[in-house]
Amino acid sequence: MKISYTLNGQKVTDEVNPAQPLTEYLRSRGCYSVKRGCETANCGLCTVLVDGRPVLSCSTLTARIDGKVVETMEGLQSEAAEIGTYLADEGAEQCGFCSPGLIMNIIGMTRELKNPTEDDIRNYLAGNLCRCTGYVSQLRAIRKYLAEKEEA
């Protein structure tokens, strides 16, 4: 099947297996920030933005991105690095395995929600599993990041 879409700002036309999970396809295109975790849409590691909204790429078929805009951390490096600094400063980035999916969800949240409450943040990021941090430091980092963004 032939699809056309935009990946990290670049127009792409490609012949794809429509049944291939988006995770596999994006990794084959060099988007290694898109990680495999549970492969059951439960951990958030594979999160990418499709038309600006977070999507679990392990449970999305490649055919579904036809005509869409897809963003991965490779295309959002400066924004991702800024968020990553807040996470690191708060001790929220220990092993780092969950960080790409978490950062992609934070970016999606900041684009969608204006002045999110603590409950909004928790609800938006509920699908991101982390075995290292216990989430307290992640929430603290996110609140500080959002506060800085508000001041700017």
Tell me what the mean pLDDT of segment 81-110 comes to.
91
Q: Which residue has the tokens 């506060």?
A: 147
CA distance 77 to 54: 16
- Domain's final residue, options 74, 92, 126: 74
Q: What is the pLDDT of residue 129?
A: 85
Greater model confidence, 39 or 124: 124
Q: What is the mean pLDDT of the chain?
A: 92
pLDDT band at 150 (very low <50, low <70, confident <90, very high): confident
Task: Inform me whether the pLDDT recorded for 133 exceeds 80.
Answer: no
CATH code assigned at 102: 1.10.150.120
Looking at the fold, whether 102 and 52 belong to one and the same domain comes out as: no
Tell me the three state secondary structure of residue 50. strand
Q: What is the pLDDT of residue 4?
A: 98
144: containing domain: 76-151
Q: What is the pLDDT of residue 93?
A: 79
Task: Inform me whether the pLDDT recorded for 23 exceeds 90.
Answer: yes
Q: Which residue has the tokens 């603290």?
A: 140
Looking at the fold, whether 41 and 88 belong to one and the same domain comes out as: no
Looking at the fold, whether 17 and 33 belong to one and the same domain comes out as: yes
CA distance 85 to 82: 5
Segment holding 5, helix H or strand E: strand 2-7
Q: What is the pLDDT of residue 30?
A: 97
Looking at the fold, whether 60 and 91 belong to one and the same domain comes out as: no
Looking at the fold, whether 83 and 147 belong to one and the same domain comes out as: yes
pLDDT band at 85 (very low <50, low <70, confident <90, very high): very high
CATH code assigned at 43: 3.10.20.30
Looking at the fold, whether 84 and 50 belong to one and the same domain comes out as: no
Task: Inform me whether the pLDDT recorded for 123 exceeds 80.
Answer: yes
- Domain's final residue, options 39, 74, 109: 74
pLDDT band at 42 (very low <50, low <70, confident <90, very high): confident
Looking at the fold, whether 39 and 92 belong to one and the same domain comes out as: no
- Cα angle 126-129-130, degrees, rounded to a multiple of 5: 130
Torsion of CA 141, 143, 145, 150, to 10 degrees: -170
Looking at the fold, whether 97 and 68 belong to one and the same domain comes out as: no
Number of domains in the chain: 2
